Amino acid sequence: MPNMSDNAEKTSKKAFDLASVLGLTLAVVAILGGQALEGGSIESIMQPTAALIVLGGTFGACLLQFQLANAMASFKAVVRVFQDAKTNNREVIQEIIRLANKARKEGVISLESDAQKISDPFLKKALTMAMDGVEPKVLRETMELEIANLEEEAEQPIKFWEAAGGYSPTVGILGAVLGLIHVMENLSDPSKLGSGIAVAFVATVYGVGLANLVFLPVSGKLKLKSKAHLVAKEIMLVGVISILEGENPRLIEDKLRSYLSREEQEVQSESAGTGQKKAA
Amino acid sequence: MPNMSDNAEKTSKKAFDLASVLGLTLAVVAILGGQALEGGSIESIMQPTAALIVLGGTFGACLLQFQLANAMASFKAVVRVFQDAKTNNREVIQEIIRLANKARKEGVISLESDAQKISDPFLKKALTMAMDGVEPKVLRETMELEIANLEEEAEQPIKFWEAAGGYSPTVGILGAVLGLIHVMENLSDPSKLGSGIAVAFVATVYGVGLANLVFLPVSGKLKLKSKAHLVAKEIMLVGVISILEGENPRLIEDKLRSYLSREEQEVQSESAGTGQKKAA
Amino acid sequence: MPNMSDNAEKTSKKAFDLASVLGLTLAVVAILGGQALEGGSIESIMQPTAALIVLGGTFGACLLQFQLANAMASFKAVVRVFQDAKTNNREVIQEIIRLANKARKEGVISLESDAQKISDPFLKKALTMAMDGVEPKVLRETMELEIANLEEEAEQPIKFWEAAGGYSPTVGILGAVLGLIHVMENLSDPSKLGSGIAVAFVATVYGVGLANLVFLPVSGKLKLKSKAHLVAKEIMLVGVISILEGENPRLIEDKLRSYLSREEQEVQSESAGTGQKKAA
Amino acid sequence: MPNMSDNAEKTSKKAFDLASVLGLTLAVVAILGGQALEGGSIESIMQPTAALIVLGGTFGACLLQFQLANAMASFKAVVRVFQDAKTNNREVIQEIIRLANKARKEGVISLESDAQKISDPFLKKALTMAMDGVEPKVLRETMELEIANLEEEAEQPIKFWEAAGGYSPTVGILGAVLGLIHVMENLSDPSKLGSGIAVAFVATVYGVGLANLVFLPVSGKLKLKSKAHLVAKEIMLVGVISILEGENPRLIEDKLRSYLSREEQEVQSESAGTGQKKAA
Amino acid sequence: MPNMSDNAEKTSKKAFDLASVLGLTLAVVAILGGQALEGGSIESIMQPTAALIVLGGTFGACLLQFQLANAMASFKAVVRVFQDAKTNNREVIQEIIRLANKARKEGVISLESDAQKISDPFLKKALTMAMDGVEPKVLRETMELEIANLEEEAEQPIKFWEAAGGYSPTVGILGAVLGLIHVMENLSDPSKLGSGIAVAFVATVYGVGLANLVFLPVSGKLKLKSKAHLVAKEIMLVGVISILEGENPRLIEDKLRSYLSREEQEVQSESAGTGQKKAA
């Protein structure tokens, strides 16, 4: 199974996720550029106090809501938002078809040596269980628990950043109201009224901006990436069970290819060569 | 199967979606007309800076949340909103009944030549699998995965524009607050106070207007169109399986017609002629 | 089956839906009366420009989101909100019990003549299929598709008015902000400041008022009415299948009566006479 | 079954629901007390016009949305919020165990006389059907329809007060905007400006206060009470079916006790005496 | 089973939940620190009247919505937010594997003495039922009801604090509007205008702050903790049933380990020793 690990390495080169980089840049340039074009200075929206209130309040609430391990995993997950490590489901399917063909020719038990070499822990566990003679029903039950477990784990950072996106605008408003209270108590000096209100409003800008330009999109991107990751596991599970049940490799391929998007299916057809469509 | 492709061509002439064109026109005329009637000038709500902030911020957030391919597909999907390419489910049913009758008289295997000529890739794949002797249960499983996959793909633009409709009003408010901060810092010149606030408010108008008059309705229309498209696939799947299981063509028609709306059912009855209601 | 059609006619007299008429009157009287009591004139909240913006923007967005046919059906559905055409489920049950008793005594096939006379198209289709020898499983599948289809159709106007109730307040705010922009640009004439702001606020009144006093309640009432309508279809389906399976008419009645509300059940018991409770 | 009716009477003494009384009192005292402590007079927030707008608009919208019968039932249901008529599930279980033991010793048919004496109409219907020889599957189907029906009925007031809680704050804002329009039109007399705004704000206080301190909590409490009520019916249904299927009374008790909360289970264990834990 | 109880004691030492303590501290320091940095005094946001309105109104609404017992349990549950009593699922699995091995060697009935010593009431009840010869299907049904019941109970405090987080900001706004009404009525003394508005705004700060920095995060943390707790019960149930059905202890372990997070699985593998991976 040297192919598999090669591919794994190739996909793990982890290019930049272009959309994430472009998106964040576009948002920041638009806001700061707009501010500059309107004649406002960048310094006027740089208020450390407002940043303290909004970031401290938001992450304080998030820590109170989540476990420490969740919080740390959520910060680490942000790296994934900017990496383009898309799971290559086409290669997963090709590997499974290879295994299915081998099982057909040399018997399922011949896959024992392959199972040892597989790098993906999920596929390895499924195949090892199959080698150990576990019956398909039990194997499916166990591996579906694994998938549910992976899903659970992937959901923690998604929920963390969604929560941050929920708390941050209201904490921003909290900061603004605190600022306005301060302004209102010092109405006697009207010359400072305007700049006081301006300072207060910066907290709102931080809260609303962080939520809508960072926290919520990050949560959404993580959800998309987790989904693609879990589909790969489902392909592996369906594939291993189909092999165990001795299904025709061509039918297995037809079934597994249904998990690919239309674009991926087209590439798949081409790379799979020509002999396939008629070879029943 | 020349009928089918003819029909496909006919339906692909893609007239305008009248409701979409009317709706967008009505909304724009109402807002701009109202603005004019109130004595406001159109120029006063044309602020490139506000547009930069709202559009840049909104699409920046969307890019951060979605993949680049999703974003491009979502912009392309907007074309569909203004095209009236309604899937003609009546014709799909007629084609399936034709195949069912042929299968009844000449055997299922006689459909092999028909399968080659079908233009719809979904129906073609289902029928080809049936010709290859795939059993109904496996065929259903595979094609249901295909439908789920098509649904998944159709949902991306729906979610993209829904997200845009969620980000845009808050980014508009962000732009307004930035503008107000600028105004507040220059309170010393009260003569510019009003126009400064006016400029700031334009960002709100853009954000709220784009969300409610464009982004969210576009998302909703795409959802409606995707639904109609998926129903056609479901009709095809149920039809092919019923043919495979040798069901009576008249019963198949009764079952499939239940997928049509009442209006479509009436047209169907007429075009299907008179001999049908009593022909048990 | 003359009873059935008589009843159908009786229920189709379509009295006013008292709650709808009272509710709309109460809301309008309360708002306008309150306005008058506060010393405000009715004219001051009659602004054609605000109406143009709010209605044009809201229905423009709705047209962009829905199909033209949906929109027209949704406007027609408003009539139903004010009509009290409650489906008389008690009579539906009595009719089914009558058919069940006849089927028991004279055989299921004796219902053929009854099937021709039934006015409800759903019950007619179900009974005709049963007469044609369609087996219960297929009949249930087909008729459940019909119910899902009817539900789908009934949901369109519900969603249309819900969407209108969602767009209208934000379009109202859009109109208000446009008005405020106009006011802010003309701050030089403070004497007109107040009345300008007042005019701007009228758009908010229209948007919030239409959504909360008309669009959303109309959507809710349509949902209630559609539900009652679909329950009648479900009673018919369960009834026909029970007849087909030769169940005891008394058991069928027990089962179907469970679909009635407690009040309806009590009336049912009385009208069904006395011999029933002990007649096992 | 004299026990049962005794218990029913006992539980129907309907003490006050302490939490509801305390909650409403606490909320009113806090708001009015706060108002008094701030030096505001109670009269200044007593505005019949605002009350007319908020109550008229809210209940107008509710009447338009619901049926007249729903509305009246919803007002009646408020009484239940303040009554502590908790369904005594422990006694329901004891009664079922008694019946199960009797059925075991004297045969299921011996319960016929008990069925006549039962006061709860649901349990009575279930037991009577069992006596009539209805088979468990049909009995379960019929009684589950009954439960769904009871649930449906119980949901109407919950939805009514939830809708009222949704309409009331926006109608309050409507009233406030109407008041502000009036104020803005009379800016020429600045001395009345403040009090005019104050009057306008009272509508907001009414709308937000009624929704959050009355309508929504009432809806929530009704939901809790309806849930407890439906659990009792489910216990009865599971119990009767278990009796019909001749299950061991001790196993029935084990199963039914799982519906009780932990506190109730402990009391149950004690009241059930000691001989039970080992008596297998 | 001395191990089990030892472990139970060890885990019940209940260290602090570091995230909760850090989170609450961070939020409070950020808000108060920000307030101090902006030059505002802490006293200016200490308003007993505002606290009375917000706390009284919020908990009044909660009491009206919930039962008294729910409310008290919800306050007690707050303690759990700050305790780190994580259920040790690894030890639960080890215990079950020990029982499975014993059952394999000495027969299921040999677990009778173990059942008496188990401290967890859920596992004890499940094992006792198994000893009493209850068949797996009934055991599963009964214990799933128990789990549903535990879930129900755990949800009450989650819903209570979620409701408090919903009511508190709107009650805060209510308090602010009441304060503004008072200010507006005394416009004649403009020198007090600012401080009056400041006081009014404090109610908003309390309402929004309590909801976002306390109530909602507390509800979220309780949800996380309840989930972990219920997973332990599910492991116990699946384990006992697998033992009853005589499954291979190694397969049981494979299945149960799927409930662990990846980190826990790694520790598990290590502590389980080396002989396991190859021992098929």
Separation CA B26–CA C53 (nearest Å): 10
Q: How confident is the model at residue D121 (pLDDT cuts 50, 70, 90)?
A: confident
Q: How confident is the model at residue B178 (pLDDT cuts 50, 70, 90)?
A: very high
pLDDT at B8 (0 to 100): 40
Chain length of chain B: 280
CB atoms B208 and C174 under 8 Å = yes
Is E in contact with D (3 or more beta carbon pairs below 8 Å)? Answer: yes
Partner E, chain D 110-129, Cβ-Cβ below 8 Å: none
Q: Using CB atoms, which chains have 3+ pairs under 8 A with E?
A: A, D
Say which of D22, D34, D191 has its CB closest to residue E178: D34
Residue C222's φ and ψ, nearest 5 degrees, are -60, -35
Q: Distance, in angstroms, between A108 CA and closest chain B CA?
A: 21
Say which of C65, C184, C199 has its CB closest to residue B217: C65
Q: How confident is the model at residue D79 (pLDDT cuts 50, 70, 90)?
A: very high
**For testing contact with chain B, the best of A18, A31, A223, A253 (most B CBs within 10 A):** A31
Chain C residues in contact with B27 (beta carbon < 8 A) = 56-57, 60-61, 64
pLDDT at A237 (0 to 100): 94
pLDDT at B9 (0 to 100): 39
Q: Using CB atoms, which chains have 3+ pairs under 8 A with A?
A: B, E
Mean pLDDT, range C190-200, rounded to an integer? 80
Query: What are E154's two structure tokens?
Result: 């755990």
How many H-runs (helices) and E-runs (strands) does chain A carry? 12, 2
Q: Which residues of chain A have pLDDT under 50?
A: 1-12, 272-280
Q: How confident is the model at residue C71 (pLDDT cuts 50, 70, 90)?
A: very high
Q: Distance, in angstroms, between E246 CA and closest chain D CA?
A: 23
pLDDT at A99 (0 to 100): 92
Which of residues E3 and D209 earns the better pLDDT score?
D209
Query: What are E59's two structure tokens?
Result: 């908990």
Mean pLDDT, range B222-250, rounded to an integer? 90
CB atoms C170 and B30 under 8 Å = no
Q: What is the DSSP string of C80-138?
A: HHTEE----HHHHHHHHHHHHHHHHHH-GGGGHHHHHH---HHHHHHHHHHHTT--HHH
- How far the first Cα of chain A sits from its last, in Å, is 27
Say which of C30, C251, C259 has its CB closest to residue D138: C251
**pLDDT over threshold 70, residue B68:** yes
Chain C residues in contact with B40 (beta carbon < 8 A) = 178, 181-182, 185
Q: What is the pLDDT along chain E (280 residues), one digit of tens a residue?
A: 344 444 443 444 567 888 999 999 999 999 999 888 877 788 888 999 999 999 999 999 999 999 998 999 999 999 999 987 666 788 889 999 999 999 989 888 888 888 888 888 899 989 988 888 888 888 898 899 889 988 988 999 999 999 999 999 999 999 999 999 988 888 777 777 777 888 889 999 999 999 999 999 999 999 999 988 899 999 999 999 999 888 889 889 888 888 887 777 766 555 544 434 433 3
- B221 contacts chain C (CB < 8 A): yes
pLDDT at A267 (0 to 100): 61
Chain A residues in contact with B53 (beta carbon < 8 A) = 30-31, 34
Q: How confident is the model at residue B115 (pLDDT cuts 50, 70, 90)?
A: confident
pLDDT at E89 (0 to 100): 84
Chain E residues in contact with A134 (beta carbon < 8 A) = 251, 254
CB atoms B254 and C185 under 8 Å = no
Partner B, chain A 237-276, Cβ-Cβ below 8 Å: 251, 254-255, 258-263
Chain E residues in contact with D211 (beta carbon < 8 A) = 170
Chain B residues in contact with C177 (beta carbon < 8 A) = 201, 204-205, 208
pTM given for the model: 0.89
- Percentage of chain B beyond pLDDT 90 is 45
Question: What are the tens digits of pLDDT across the range D230-275?
Answer: 999 999 999 999 998 888 898 899 888 888 877 777 665 555 444 3
- E109 contacts chain D (CB < 8 A): no
- Percentage of chain B beyond pLDDT 70 is 88
Which of residues C206 and C45 earns the better pLDDT score?
C206
- B205 contacts chain C (CB < 8 A): yes
- A169 contacts chain E (CB < 8 A): no
Is B in contact with C (3 or more beta carbon pairs below 8 Å)? Answer: yes
Chain E residues in contact with D194 (beta carbon < 8 A) = 183-188
CB atoms D177 and C217 under 8 Å = no
In a 10 Å sphere around its CB, with 0-12 CB exposed, 13-18 middle and 19+ buried, how is residue D169 labelled?
Answer: buried
Q: Distance, in angstroms, between A208 CA and closest chain E CA?
A: 15
Separation CA D261–CA E95 (nearest Å): 27
pLDDT at D261 (0 to 100): 76
Residue of C nearest to D137 (CA): C255
Q: Distance, in angstroms, between B109 CA and closest chain C CA?
A: 25
- Give the CA dihedral E158, E161, E163, E165, nearest 10 degrees: -130
Separation CA D156–CA D153 (nearest Å): 6
- D167 contacts chain C (CB < 8 A): yes
- Yes or no: say if E36 and E113 are a contact pair by the CB < 8 Å rule: no
Chain A residues in contact with B61 (beta carbon < 8 A) = 23, 27, 212-213, 216-217
Question: What are the tens digits of pLDDT across the range A163-207?
Answer: 999 999 999 999 999 999 988 888 777 777 777 888 889 999 999
- C13 contacts chain D (CB < 8 A): no
pLDDT at C188 (0 to 100): 73
Q: Is the ipTM of this complex over 0.90?
A: no
Q: How confident is the model at residue C267 (pLDDT cuts 50, 70, 90)?
A: low
pLDDT at E4 (0 to 100): 43
Separation CA C23–CA D64 (nearest Å): 5
Separation CA B51–CA D69 (nearest Å): 52
- A1 contacts chain E (CB < 8 A): no
Residue of E nearest to A154 (CA): E261
Q: Which residues of A51-69 are buried (b: 16+ CB within 10 A; e: fewer)?
A: bbbbbbbbbbbbbbbbbee
- E204 contacts chain A (CB < 8 A): yes
Q: Which residues of A105-114 are buried (b: 16+ CB within 10 A; e: fewer)?
A: eeebeebeeb
CB atoms A30 and B142 under 8 Å = no
CB atoms B174 and A81 under 8 Å = no
- Percentage of chain C beyond pLDDT 70 is 88
Q: Distance, in angstroms, between A37 CA and closest chain B CA?
A: 7
CB atoms C174 and B39 under 8 Å = no
- D51 contacts chain E (CB < 8 A): no
Q: Which of C89, C91, C101 is nearest to C246 (CA)?
A: C101
pLDDT at C275 (0 to 100): 39
Say which of A60, A174, A188 has its CB closest to residue E24: A60
Chain A residues in contact with E193 (beta carbon < 8 A) = 187
CB atoms E20 and A181 under 8 Å = no
- Yes or no: say if D240 and D97 are a contact pair by the CB < 8 Å rule: no
- Yes or no: say if B19 and C64 are a contact pair by the CB < 8 Å rule: yes
pLDDT at B20 (0 to 100): 93
Reduced to 3 states, what is the DSSP secondary structure of residue E180? helix
Mean pLDDT, range C232-244, rounded to an integer? 92
Mean pLDDT of chain B: 85
- Give the CA dihedral A189, A195, A199, A205, nearest 10 degrees: 140
pLDDT at A1 (0 to 100): 38
- Yes or no: say if B78 and A233 are a contact pair by the CB < 8 Å rule: no
Helix (H) or strand (E) holding A39: none
- E96 contacts chain D (CB < 8 A): no
pLDDT at C185 (0 to 100): 83
CB atoms E201 and A184 under 8 Å = yes
Separation CA D247–CA D241 (nearest Å): 9
Mean pLDDT, range C32-58, rounded to an integer? 89
pLDDT at B4 (0 to 100): 43
Is B in contact with E (3 or more beta carbon pairs below 8 Å)? Answer: no
pLDDT at B207 (0 to 100): 97
Beta-bridge mates of residue B15: B84
CB atoms B213 and C57 under 8 Å = yes
Q: How confident is the model at residue B87 (pLDDT cuts 50, 70, 90)?
A: low
Least confident piece of the model among A206-220, A259-273, B64-78, D97-111: A259-273
pLDDT at D11 (0 to 100): 45
Q: Distance, in angstroms, between D59 CA and closest chain E CA?
A: 21
pLDDT at A278 (0 to 100): 39
pLDDT at D269 (0 to 100): 56
